[in-house]
Amino acid sequence: MKDIIRTFLRRPAGIVGLVLLGLVCLMAVVAPLVYPASPWEMTGIPFSRPGENGMLLGADTLGRDIASGIVHGARVSILIGLASTLTALCIGVLLGCISGYAGGAVDAVIVRFTEIFQTIPSFVLAILLVAILTPSIGTIILAIGLVSWPPLSRLTRAQVRTVAQREFVQAARCQGQSTLSVVVRHVLPNAISPIIVAGSLTVAAAILIEAGLSFMGLGDPNYMSWGYMIGSGRTVIRQAWWMSVFPGLAILLTVVAINLVGEALNDALNPRISRA
Amino acid sequence: MTETLLAIENLVLGLPDGADRAHAVDGISLTVNANEIVCLVGESGSGKSMTAHAILGLLPNKVKALNGAIRLSGRDLLQLSPREMRALRGGEIAMIFQEPLTALNPLARAGAQVAEAIRTHDPSANAAAVDGRVQELFGQVGLPDPATLSAAYPFQLSGGQRQRVMIAMALANNPRLLIADEPTTALDVTTQRQILDLIRSLQEKRGMGVLFITHDIGVVADIADRVIVLRHGRVVEEGPAAEVLSAPREDYTRELLDAVPGRGAVRKAESREAPLLEIKNLQKVFTTRQSFFATPRRVVAAENINLVLNRGDTLAVVGESGSGKSTLARMVLRLIEPDGGEILFDGAPVNAMGREALRQFRRRTQIVFQDPYASLDPRLKIGESIVRGPMAFGTPRSDAEAIAKRWLERVGLGAHALDRFPHEFSGGQRQRICIARALALDPICLIADEAVSALDVSVQARVLQLLAELKAEMGLSMLFITHDLRVAREIADRIVVMQHGRIVEQAPAAELFDTPRADYTRRLLQAVPGREFFASRERAGAAV
Amino acid sequence: MPIISSLLAKLTGIILTILVIATINFVLVHSAPGDPALVIAGQSGDTDVKFIEQVRTEYGLDQPYLVQLGTYLGKVVRFDLGYSYRQRRAVSDLILDRLGPTLLLTLTAFFLSLIGGVFFGAFAGLRHGKWSDLAISLVSLLLYATPVFWLGLMLVLIFSVQLEWLPAFGYANIRAASYSTFGYAMDVARHLILPAVTLSAIYMAVYTRLMRSSLIEISHEDHVRTARAKGLTEGRILRGHMLRNAAVPVVTFAGLQAGALIGGAVVVETVFSWPGLGRLTFDAVTARDYPVLLGLFLVMSVMVIAVNLLTDLLHRLIDPRVGAH
């Protein structure tokens, strides 16, 4: 464990990512303290430029504070990113484990099912799900989770299969340990690190999908989100660049931060590659 | 007077910081003359491969030549420009490698890869001439139907065929010096024999100098004119092969020779005890299909396998890759389920055992695997790996730890190994740990699946010795799976020879070696490297 | 024989996939809150009692679920994707009208990203550790994290609003109908540049990263050492023994990304008012026109399958091992 942290900290990119991510999380936590008013409230003059009328990043077409929207939007992005990844991990890891360890017909069916789900254009399915189930935080999380699990399932299956064939697992079976004990104590611990890394990258992808959904007008109407801000500023981009530029930068930085952390994690957890 | 082709003078190769030692090669000097085969022999870590790669300037990035010279007909190769070096590679000096699986480009046709070697050194050659030359080379290295095979992709060829293609490629520009880096190590013995014969005959025909890298003294005895023994990056002993092998001056050389298994008297007889393990009519076919409609590929792993292991005996199952011997071991423990037939342990059918009965059976029949690096959970301390077995059968942790300690001491590692991780041990030590783990359950039967195949000969000899002692102490019965007849001869009372999932012959060990009945057994015996040399050494030894 | 059997396998796979997707559609309609007939009618049709009644009988909504599913699948097989009450047209007609521009956009972006990714990835991989490698890696890291629609807007801001080089939206000028064929094609091409670059940029970033690491890995392989031992120059080793091998995983991965590419097309077409299926999706979402959304989902899935077949073909071309056993 100590080694893992040490390797992680030796990567400057990982530290940059961690700091950025920390800032975004901090923003999400302190949002109600810094901007106690709802980000939907029209507090200023429409089309205020950044810095004008006491608005750090300007106001949108209805006079809502962009800075407030960005700070509050961090909450939605982080929440949806984590919750939908968790959903995807639950489905993907469970199916992948069963498929990889059981083999045979069970495996064949699950693999086929996963393949089909991987063919489906996931963003379009997410749109369809949210549109039909009506947009809310819950349906958005569910939809993103439902379209994000196939790569995790494939990865888990591949990992479990490789590890399960390793001789120490066979030796554990011959030692008389129960199947559950073999899977939980020997297979998973040795298979898990790429899955953790893929999970962290899934958070980034989920944040991008959420942004896309709210850009299309499928966000939860009760929560301000970055994608929504860009979507509503889109039509006036010729007059008011700031309405789209700042929320986009927020998404970009958050996703870059998570990807950097994920990569550093990868190097730390898979020492074989980091040595090369 | 023979011409000195290659002279390595006081070569020092530096390893990067943080390696286990500073120099991979520490002041090696050697020569190779035209028209002779020089064997560079040594165990892992001796620096033999590094030396070979240094000649062609193919060292890994972080390894640097710090001192010395490598002269080809007087010219120092270490001082050449990259351009001059390229002209030599594949031209005057050619090289073949260990892994025929990966040494060829998987996406290019075999013939094209050889043709490329010709065109690189003779850009003006026309297509038809190059093509003709490729076919000719394919014929010379004994590839059947050169026209078809030169159009094949590497994945369509067998391991032996790929190595022949590699040799054809190496010979493409009539090199004066051929470097062969363990060219037969990854091959089955019968294929190894063919490739060795091929290299020998091509060398004689062409008067080439050959530097042949190997870890196998038997191969040295078969092929070498001169031999150089390496250890830890230094030359231990060198001289004409006949002299060094029959009258070694250095202890290390003698050790290497003595460690070669399968020389002592064959064990006399089987016991007359009752059978412990009986296998009747065992069947297993692996079918893989790409899709529902594709014709499935069938690989027969077991066809009508019948054998008996008597109490207190050691039964060796010998076969080349794909013979089904490892599948057999796994089927006994039901790590793989057979398609049909019966396995009786102490009279009880293993196939019919429920979960608890199977657990109890596996406790009494333990297994040691081939790969010492994959056999231990890298995330668990050694002690933890061992105690989990007894604990799974209800032994309290403190007692299990005492058991683990006792066995670790018995296999020669000491109790301090308990708290260490697998990566802190060498291959031989890990194999001892695996043996301790198996024996901690107090089994009456031990299955060794190629348990010594991945080890250096000297380590192998000591592990075999340990197994023999333990067997005597505990009255173990052993099912010993190996590809190496020499190892089988060392340890077995009775031997079963398998090929393509069938038993071709089974007999008491002595009988099998003295009067082999099956053709295939005879071929295997004849293919054993260094067979004649060791036989004559045996007779000489007996005479003293 | 192996070709026929693998074709058969492909075909069953495709049919199976389409059936599963249609079934998802069916399940979705029925899991939506409220009356499925209202969902099928779409938000503007749900007040027309006569239309609702017609939907109910046409889809057999009073029948058991399995019969309903059968009815629905039967319709899908006949390419009857329902009726958009709002647009007063059959969904299949709406989709066929918009298919061309989307194919043009996605295929352009697909090849652009693949070629660009292989090129930049190889460039960076060869200069492993040098500043040009770092620069390419950094740019691809950033692009990879950029929301597509935002990237599109930024390009519009720079190339249309500030520099006024390229049109910001649309498929062709309003007067384009009067142009010659060549003039028309050039006009469409000018309009295509920004959306295609936007859509391909992110995938180019992905493929660049993949190609780079793949090339670095290949450079350590045994057969590259063999090529070096043959006396080949580094350039020839690269061209003959590394590029193609390194591109194999990139092509495989591109196939897996086909679905995401079409998802990306939805937002890109929205940003650039490109009159394709994506724009149609946006309009249907805004109007809650469910029959159109359901039909689009099905058709886009089929497009993904088609792109998958294409990458399969590419894969076969560069890797002789595929489909040989």
Chain B neighbors (3+ CB pairs < 8 Å): A, C
Range with the lowest mean pLDDT among B66-75, B156-165, B284-293, C49-58? B284-293
Q: Does residue C205 belong to the interface with chain A, where contact is any CB pair within 8 Å?
A: no
Give the pair of three-digit tokens for residue B415: 């109790």
At residue B544, the 3 state secondary structure works out as coil
Query: What CATH number has the domain spanning A2-39+59-274?
Result: 1.10.3720.10
Q: How many helices (H) and strands (E) does chain B have?
A: 20, 20
Query: E strand or H helix at C7, and its extent?
Result: helix C2-31
Residue C239: count other Cβ atoms within 10 Å of its Cβ: 12
Report the side by side order of strands in the sheet with B365-368: B365-368, B445-449, B477-482, B314-319, B494-499, B502-508
Per-residue pLDDT, averaged over A55-80, amounts to 82
Give me the residue from C145, C150, C270 closest to A216, CB to CB. Answer: C270
Q: How many CA atoms lie within 13 A of B266 on its CB side?
A: 21
Q: What is the DSSP code string of A122-168?
A: HHHHHHHHHHHH---HHHHHHHHHHHHHHHHHHHHHHHHHHHHHSHH
State residue A87's pLDDT score.
Answer: 95
Residue C43 banded pLDDT, cuts 50, 70, 90: low
For residue C255, what are the CA distances in angstroms to C206, C252, C307? 13, 5, 7
Asked if B293's CB is within 8 angstroms of C321's CB, the reply is no
State residue A1's pLDDT score.
Answer: 61
Which residue in A has a C-alpha nearest to residue B358's C-alpha?
A176
State residue B1's pLDDT score.
Answer: 45
State the residue for tokens 């484990």: A97
State residue C82's pLDDT score.
Answer: 78
Reply yes or no on whether the pLDDT at C317 is more than 60: yes
Residue A96 banded pLDDT, cuts 50, 70, 90: very high
Distance separating alpha carbons of residues C263 and A209, to the nearest angstrom: 10
State residue B180's pLDDT score.
Answer: 94
Give the pair of three-digit tokens for residue B272: 């007359």
Q: Does residue C176 belong to the interface with chain B, where contact is any CB pair within 8 Å?
A: no
Asked if B377's CB is within 8 angstroms of A168's CB, the reply is yes
State residue B292's pLDDT score.
Answer: 52
Range with the lowest mean pLDDT among B195-209, B248-262, B500-514, C3-17? C3-17
Residue B291 banded pLDDT, cuts 50, 70, 90: low
Give the per-residue SS3 of A155-207: HHHHHHHHHHHCHHHHHHHHCCCCHHHHHHHHHHHHHHHHHHHHHHHHHHHHH
Per-residue pLDDT, averaged over B281-303, amounts to 76
Distance separating alpha carbons of residues B52 and B181, to the nearest angstrom: 7
Range with the lowest mean pLDDT among A8-17, B74-83, C128-137? A8-17
Give the pair of three-digit tokens for residue B441: 């359950």
Give the per-residue SS3 of C39-90: HHHCCCCCCCHHHHHHHHHHCCCCCCHHHHHHHHHHHHHCCCCCEECCCCEE
Residue C313 banded pLDDT, cuts 50, 70, 90: confident
CB of B277 closer than 8 Å to CB of B309: yes
Q: Are strands B297-310 and B348-349 parallel, antiparallel or unpaired?
A: unpaired
Q: Does residue C229 belong to the interface with chain B, where contact is any CB pair within 8 Å?
A: yes
Q: Does residue B441 belong to the interface with chain A, where contact is any CB pair within 8 Å?
A: yes
Asked if A122's CB is within 8 angstroms of C256's CB, the reply is no
B18 class by beta-carbon count within 10 Å (0-12 exposed, 13-18 middle, 19+ buried):
exposed
Distance in Å, alpha carbon of B369 to nearest chain A alpha carbon: 7
State residue A270's pLDDT score.
Answer: 65
Asked if C229's CB is within 8 angstroms of B56's CB, the reply is yes
Distance separating alpha carbons of residues C295 and C89, to the nearest angstrom: 13
Give the pair of three-digit tokens for residue B528: 């054993």
What does the mean pLDDT of chain B come to?
88
Give me the residue from C9, C228, C320 closest to B89, CB to CB. Answer: C228
What does the mean pLDDT of chain C come to?
84
Any idea of the CA torsion for A128, A130, A133, A136, to the nearest 10 degrees?
-170
State residue B271's pLDDT score.
Answer: 65
Q: What residues form DSSP beta bridges with B230?
A: B235
Reply yes or no on whether the pLDDT at A84 is more than 90: yes
Write out pLDDT tens, residues B196-213.
999 999 999 999 999 999
Asked if A276's CB is within 8 angstroms of C220's CB, the reply is yes
Distance in Å, alpha carbon of B499 to nearest chain A alpha carbon: 24
Asked if B108's CB is within 8 angstroms of C6's CB, the reply is no
Give the pair of three-digit tokens for residue B222: 């078969």
Per-residue pLDDT, averaged over B221-238, amounts to 92
Reply yes or no on whether the pLDDT at A272 is more than 60: no
Residue B294 banded pLDDT, cuts 50, 70, 90: low
- ipTM of the complex, rounded to two decimals: 0.85
Reply yes or no on whether the pLDDT at C208 is more than 80: yes
Domains delineated in chain B:
275-519 (3.40.50.300)
For the C107-324 domain, the top CATH level (class) is mainly alpha
State residue A275's pLDDT score.
Answer: 34
Which residue in B has a C-alpha nearest to residue C244's C-alpha?
B107
Give me the residue from B99, B120, B166 closest to C231, CB to CB. Answer: B120
Using an 8 Å CB-CB cutoff, list residues of chain A that contact chain B.
Answer: 166-178, 181, 185-186, 189-190
State residue A31's pLDDT score.
Answer: 78
Residues 6 or more apart from A75 whose CB is under 8 A from it? A28, A31, A223
Write out pLDDT tens, residues B436-469.
999 999 999 999 998 888 888 888 888 898 998 8
Give the pair of three-digit tokens for residue C67: 């019969």
Q: Is the dihedral of CA A120, A122, A123, A126 positive or negative?
A: positive
Instruction: Collect all residues of chain A within an 8 Å Cβ-Cβ radius of residue B389.
Output: 175-177
Q: What is the DSSP code string of A26-84?
A: HHHHHHHHH--S-TTSB-S-TTPPTTGGG-TT-B-TT-BBHHHHHHHHHHHHHHHHHHH
Write out pLDDT tens, residues A161-172.
888 888 899 899
Reply yes or no on whether the pLDDT at B543 is more than 50: no
Give the pair of three-digit tokens for residue B541: 């030894």
Q: Is the dihedral of CA A16, A20, A26, A29 positive or negative?
A: negative
Closest CA to B318 of B520, B111, B526: B520
Asked if A122's CB is within 8 angstroms of C260's CB, the reply is yes
Distance in Å, alpha carbon of A216 to nearest chain C alpha carbon: 7
Residue C1 banded pLDDT, cuts 50, 70, 90: very low
State residue B279's pLDDT score.
Answer: 92
Instruction: Collect all residues of chain C within an 8 Å Cβ-Cβ radius of residue A148.
Output: none
State residue A276's pLDDT score.
Answer: 31
Delimit the domains of chain C by residue range: 2-77, 107-324
State the residue for tokens 């530096």: B14
Write out pLDDT tens, residues B118-133.
999 988 888 899 999 9
Write out pLDDT tens, residues C235-254.
899 988 999 899 888 988 88
Per-residue pLDDT, averaged over B154-175, amounts to 90
Per-residue pLDDT, averaged over A232-241, amounts to 82
State the residue for tokens 């870059």: A256
Q: Which has the higher per-residue pLDDT, B517 or C180?
A: B517
Per-residue pLDDT, averaged over B222-230, amounts to 93
Closest CA to B365 of B321, B402, B401, B335: B335
Write out pLDDT tens, residues B427-440.
889 999 999 999 99
Delimit the domains of chain A by residue range: 2-39+59-274
Distance separating alpha carbons of residues B440 and B389, to the nearest angstrom: 7
What does the mean pLDDT of chain A come to?
85
Q: B430-444: b or e for each residue (b if 16 or more CB lie within 10 Å)? A: bbbbbbbbbbbbebb
Reply yes or no on whether the pLDDT at A30 is more than 70: yes
